[in-house]
Chain A
């Protein structure tokens, strides 16, 4: 089983749509969870940390289910500028320094 697994997509949605991405991780001892965004041939950028109670940042909502080892990201009212690859990231359980990246889910928002 991959350490961090994501549906590669692409998800092709119209502007204004709501879209959800899911991610599973294999190590139950992981403690920190994040969503990063990566534009084509650019560096990853932190979108948001994911907390156990769930958290929201504007149009973005992240959820964590530790029992199922499952992380989600919901984007409401999609904008053209949301088109990117969304990376699910967890820390290595044996260290808080090492981040393990998923392969990413590609989102295309069309006019």
Chain B
């Protein structure tokens, strides 16, 4: 069964450092997303990406965040200068054009710990 893969599974970083989280969406999917979940809280939308550009972003997705699809297969989330409150599980997701955009396939997540 095709799946969304994410690396790293866990990253520990110092406050102020840059972090890049990587995702390989399902190959024939057209829509890509990043969500995050702070421990014990709900899943929160960060950004959606379609046709090589951001289609929507949330208030959380400020100037410290950026996304990129550098090579047609990877989809990355960069946090430029991490803060303590960025500690969370970051989920990449994708959906296909023939599915409802809400029918997402999530990766297993990248746990980010900012010290």
A81 contacts partner chain B, Cβ-Cβ < 8 Å: no
A103 contacts partner chain B, Cβ-Cβ < 8 Å: yes
Which B residues, 99 to 115, have Cβ-Cβ distances below 8 Å to chain A? 100-109
Residues B42 and A98 in contact, CB atoms below 8 Å apart: no
A45 and B107 alpha carbons, distance in the complex (Å): 9
Q: How many residues of B contact A (CB 8 A)?
A: 25
Q: DSSP majority for the B interface?
A: strand
A91 contacts partner chain B, Cβ-Cβ < 8 Å: yes
A74 contacts partner chain B, Cβ-Cβ < 8 Å: no
Residues B42 and A97 in contact, CB atoms below 8 Å apart: no
Contacts of B56 in A (CB 8 A): 92, 95, 97-98
Q: How many residues of A contact B (CB 8 A)?
A: 24
Closest to A45 in B: B106
Residues B103 and A96 in contact, CB atoms below 8 Å apart: no
A interface, CB within 8 angstroms of B: 32, 34, 38, 41-46, 49, 87, 89, 91-92, 95-104
B interface, CB within 8 angstroms of A: 31, 33, 35, 41-45, 48, 50, 55-56, 58, 89, 91, 100-109
Q: List 6 A-B contacts (CB under 8 A).
A: A32-B102, A43-B106, A43-B107, A45-B106, A92-B45, A99-B35
A-B contacts besides A44-B43, A95-B55, A96-B100, 8 pairs, CB < 8 Å:
A32-B100, A42-B108, A46-B105, A49-B102, A91-B102, A95-B48, A98-B45, A99-B35
